[in-house]
Amino acid sequence: MKRQIPLFITFFVGALLIFSVFIPPMESAGENFTLFFDIIAVFAFFLGGGNLLRVHITKLKRRKQDWPFSIVTIAGFAFMLTVGIFKIGNPGGIAASVTADGSWFQEVFNYVLTPLQSTMYALLAFFVASASYRAFRAKNREATILLIAAFIILLGRTPFGLMVTSWVPESLSVLQIPNLAIWIMNSPNLAGQRAIIIGIGLGVVSMSLRLILGVERTYLGDDSG
């Protein structure tokens, strides 16, 4: 019985949300049920925060590798949680938005987190360049096509690409590297993206039906329970 009840709830909610899309009188019921996702998300925040503290406190106790970074993580988490809950430094007081200009929460976000994110993205550029070098080596026909397309798109995003093909007449403007890069992005690339999106959509529908019909039961845990 303890396994049948979750299966029934999954079937009922899933079927209700599907019918609410196609049956107008049930639209309000579907919208009301979606509010439960916000409630679940709130509990997920508590679960995530508790798990963060558990993992790093355990790491501190056992003096695992790089344990000093756990101190920084816990201190940052506690500081942001405190200034966010109590609206410390917020010019509008406790009732104002946590992201109000001048609040400690927003100041730390602007002057600490944003520069750190920029630094991470700057470092990722070198990893992307290294991965691209390995991926774009022309080992076969497909890799050669990928290399040529990537090279055209990269040149098309720079003034150098326009300068190189500026001599191409207007009647053949599609052969100019910037225009050729736009065509690659809007035609072959877009077609591939849509094929991937359709495949993902079919996969989502398939998995949803498996969950609603009770075929997929991994979310219930061990079958022996």
> What's the predicted TM-score (pTM) here?
0.58
How far apart are alpha carbons 110 and 104 in whole angstroms? 10
Which comes out higher in pLDDT, residue 71 or 147? Answer: 71
Sequence-distant (6+) residues with CB within 8 A of 19 are 26, 30
Mean pLDDT confidence for 210-225 = 77
* Per-residue pLDDT at 225: 45
How far apart are alpha carbons 170 and 62 in whole angstroms? 70
Split at pLDDT 50, 70, 90, the class of 219 is confident
How far apart are alpha carbons 78 and 53 in whole angstroms? 10
Mean pLDDT confidence for 155-171 = 83
Chain centroid to Cα 143, Å, comes to: 28
7-23, pLDDT tens digit by residue? 998 898 888 888 888 88
DSSP-H helix ranges across the chain: 4-22, 27-61, 67-85, 104-108, 114-135, 141-156, 159-164, 177-186, 188-212
40-87, pLDDT tens digit by residue? 888 888 899 999 999 999 999 999 988 999 999 999 999 999 999 999
* Per-residue pLDDT at 70: 94
Give the residue from 28, 116, 44, 124 showing the smallest Cα distance to 76. 116
* Per-residue pLDDT at 194: 96
How far apart are alpha carbons 75 and 40 in whole angstroms? 27
Which comes out higher in pLDDT, residue 71 or 176? Answer: 71
Angle between helices 4-22 and 188-212 (to 10 degrees): 130
